[in-house]
């Protein structure tokens, strides 16, 4: 039976004071205190052995826990977490198994180990939410390209250029940049294309140097260059950054796993750390969207090689071809139509639209860049 509603220790002391009196009836005393005879004798025995210290509740924790994770396994978990402070239980377990560790505990047990050693903050727990994912069916079907938000390097703003393969999440480019100019992006893209080949499509947002942040069709010289390489260019809807969700998630991982723990005094130092993390990200880091396998297990180099010389622009025989003159316009059937200044001195092709009668689809290379109405 439980003790009555008073201070537990004071009740136990009062009980003991009377229990040690000569000729005190134990059964009657226990009834007065509302406890069983078994409980009364227990506290009397503890008092006789340890004095008042014996009246303190003992820990219910077992002396031996056969199912508890061995210390050496806990140390392996904590060591791996120290190397990758932003990785959670699933990633840590997958990486430990990759390295051949035996008796690797479950993700929930690893999470419990981290909690036990104050290795997970409340903020981190709240941030870990399941999201709905979609992906392209094969490598190089689409790359996502964007600039990460700037951060300071030796007093100068750094805006890294990132390119991610949509299917495999392979990090194709993580390049330190001091600007977002076309020349800078084109130079880095050339290096990437020479190493990895050409994708079918590149997805970007609407910022520099891809185009202005509005809903009007707009093509830049960089996009024209990509189209000439046979790469389809698509842009996310204005003010919808979730379209580039995989690249945005990459930026968050870069923040959590690199930038949150160190600052850089030079761009060379920053690029060295980026190169190191890129290698870890692609070949070691378990990715939750890939069944906890690293991206390299799903990526392969494109079979479309980079041409050092741009191929000629050709159109099918049924296309009507016009050259874009100064100002970005063409003359077609006695009328002037704006096309875009990025296409000046380049040929475009026109063909009747399948969607609407009296409309003409305007092609540059293999991509429709706009539709014009003849009436």
Q: What does pLDDT average to over the chain?
A: 84
pLDDT computed for residue 119 by the predictor: 61
pLDDT computed for residue 217 by the predictor: 55
Q: Which of 99-103, 200-204, 238-242, 318-322 has the lowest mean pLDDT?
A: 238-242
Domain layout of the chain by residue ranges? 8-55, 71-127, 143-297, 320-373
With contact defined as beta carbons under 8 Å apart, do 25 and 50 qualify?
no
Across the chain, the runs of DSSP E, i.e. the strands, are 143-147, 151-153, 156-158, 161-165, 171-175, 201-204, 232-235, 320-323, 329-332, 335-338, 347-352, 359-364, 367-373
Separation of alpha carbons 257 and 81, rounded Å: 11
352: enclosing H helix or E strand: strand 347-352
pLDDT computed for residue 127 by the predictor: 46
Q: Higher-confidence residue: 295 or 90?
A: 295
Among the listed residues 169, 129, 131, 114, the one whose alpha carbon sits nearest the alpha carbon of residue 293:
169
Q: Based on C-alpha coordinates, what's the Rg of the chain?
A: 34
Cα torsion for 321, 325, 329, 335, to the nearest 10°?
A: -70
Whether residue 215 has pLDDT greater than 60? no
Structure tokens at 238: 């204005």
pLDDT computed for residue 126 by the predictor: 40
Separation of alpha carbons 165 and 296, rounded Å: 11
Beta-carbon-side half-sphere exposure of residue 144 (alpha carbons within 13 Å): 25
Whether residue 218 has pLDDT greater than 80? no
Model confidence pLDDT, tens digit, residues 2-12: 544 457 788 88
DSSP string, 31-62: HHHT--HHHHHHHHHHHHHHGGGGGSPPP-S-
Any idea how long the chain is?
A: 375
pLDDT computed for residue 237 by the predictor: 57
Q: Higher-confidence residue: 193 or 102?
A: 193
Phi first, then psi, for residue 162 (nearest 5°) are: -120, 140
pLDDT band at 243 (very low <50, low <70, confident <90, very high): low
Model confidence pLDDT, tens digit, residues 36-72: 888 888 888 888 888 887 788 776 655 555 556 677 7
What CATH architecture is 143-297? 2-Layer Sandwich (3.30)
Q: Is the dihedral of CA 23, 27, 29, 35 positive or negative?
A: positive
Separation of alpha carbons 51 and 84, rounded Å: 51
Model confidence pLDDT, tens digit, residues 117-133: 666 654 454 444 444 45
pTM beyond 0.85: no
């Amino acid at each position: 039976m439980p003790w009555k509603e008073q201070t537990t220790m004071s009740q136990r002391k009062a009980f003991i004071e009377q229990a040690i009196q000569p000729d005190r009836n134990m059964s009657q005393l226990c009834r007065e205190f509302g406890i069983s005879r078994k409980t009364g004798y227990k506290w009397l025995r503890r008092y006789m052995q340890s004095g008042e210290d014996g009246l303190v509740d003992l820990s219910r924790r077992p002396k031996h826990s056969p199912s508890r994770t061995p210390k050496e396994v806990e140390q392996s978990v904590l060591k791996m977490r120290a190397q990758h402070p932003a990785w959670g239980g699933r990633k840590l377990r997958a990486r430990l198994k990759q390295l051949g560790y035996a008796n690797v505990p479950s993700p929930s047990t690893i999470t419990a180990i981290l909690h036990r050693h104050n290795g997970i903050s409340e903020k981190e727990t709240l941030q870990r939410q399941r999201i709905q994912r979609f992906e392209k069916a094969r490598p190089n079907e689409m790359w996502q390209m964007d600039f990460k938000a700037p951060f300071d390097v030796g007093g100068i703003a750094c805006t890294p250029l990132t390119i991610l393969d949509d299917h495999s999440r392979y990090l194709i480019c993580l390049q330190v940049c001091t600007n977002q100019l076309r020349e800078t992006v084109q130079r880095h893209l050339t290096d990437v294309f020479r190493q990895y080949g050409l994708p079918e499509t590149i997805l970007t947002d609407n910022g520099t140097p891809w185009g202005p942040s509005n809903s009007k069709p707009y093509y830049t010289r960089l996009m024209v260059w990509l189209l000439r390489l046979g790469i389809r260019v698509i842009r996310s809807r204005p003010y919808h950054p979730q379209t580039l969700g995989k690249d945005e998630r990459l930026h968050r991982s870069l923040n959590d796993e690199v930038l949150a723990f160190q600052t850089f005094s030079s761009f060379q130092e920053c690029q060295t750390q980026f190169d190191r993390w890129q290698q870890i990200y692609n070949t070691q880091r378990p990715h939750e969207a890939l069944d906890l396998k690293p991206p390299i297990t799903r990526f392969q180099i494109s079979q479309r090689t980079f041409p050092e010389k741009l191929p000629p622009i050709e159109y099918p025989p049924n296309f009507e071809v016009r050259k874009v003159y100064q100002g970005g316009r063409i003359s077609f059937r006695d009328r002037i139509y704006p096309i875009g200044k990025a296409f000046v001195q380049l040929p475009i092709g026109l063909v009747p639209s399948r969607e609407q009668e009296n409309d003409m689809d305007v092609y540059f290379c293999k991509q429709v860049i706009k539709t014009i109405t003849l009436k």
